Amino acid sequence: MEYTSIKRLMDLTFSIIFLILFSPILIFLIIVLIPLTKNKPLYIQYRPGKNEKLFIHFKLRSMTMETDDFGNMLEDEKRLRWWGRILRKTSLDELPQLINVLMGDMSLIGPRPLLIDYLKLYNKTQMRRHEIKPGITGWAQVNGRNSISWEEKFKLDVWYVDNFSFWLDIKILLLTLIMVFQRTGINQDGQATREKFTGYN
C-alpha cells in the first residue's frame, strides 16, 4: 500500500480522535468567543488546496472585525486582542481545521493553506506546494513557522512535497507538539502576525 493511502487513513483516525478529545475545549472556546466576535466565532474563508481546488477553511476567529471611518479593516495589530494572542500562542485557533481533515480537504501534515490571492503571485516552483493536500502543520511550521521569510517557507514546502514519508510525518508531529509548548515562531519580527506575500521571488 502506498503511503498516500496510509496517510489518508492516519488523517481520518487522528482527526476523529482529536475531535473527540478536544470537542469540549472547542465548544467552550466557541461559546466564549461569541460575545467577543459579535456572534462570529469561526473564521471561514475559501483557501486553495490540492491542485489549487478551493475549499472552505475553518479556524477560530482570533481578531476583531473593526474598521476605520471609511469601512476599511484596521491593521492586524489593532484587531488582535489579548484573547486572540492566547489562541494563537496556544494554537487553539487551529482546532476547527480537524473538520477540514475529516472532510478530506486537508491533511494533518502538509503545506499550510494560504490566501487565494497568492495563487497569481507564485512562480512555477512555489506553485508545486499545491501538488499535495495542505496541512494543519508542516515542515515549514516546525522550521520557523512565521519567523522565516516567504522564500524559505516555500522552499521547505516544496521540499516536503518531494520527500514526505511516514517517518517524516511522525517527526513533524512530534516537533509540532514541542513548538506548541514552547510557543515559538508564532509571529514575524515586528509584526502582529506576519507580512503578506507580495510575489517577490
Could you give the CA distance from residue 60 to residue 163 in angstroms, rounded to a whole number?
A: 31
Spatial CA neighbour of 173 closest among 110, 96, 87, 109? 109
- The least confident of 4-18, 102-116, 175-189 is 175-189
Give the chain's mean pLDDT.
90
End-to-end CA distance of the chain: 38
Spatial CA neighbour of 131 closest among 162, 93, 152? 162
Q: How confident is the model at residue 192 (pLDDT cuts 50, 70, 90)?
A: very low
Cell triple for 76: 492586524
Span 138-160, pLDDT tens digits: 999 999 887 899 999 999 999 99
Q: Is the pTM of this model over 0.85?
A: yes
**pLDDT at 200 > cutoff 80:** no
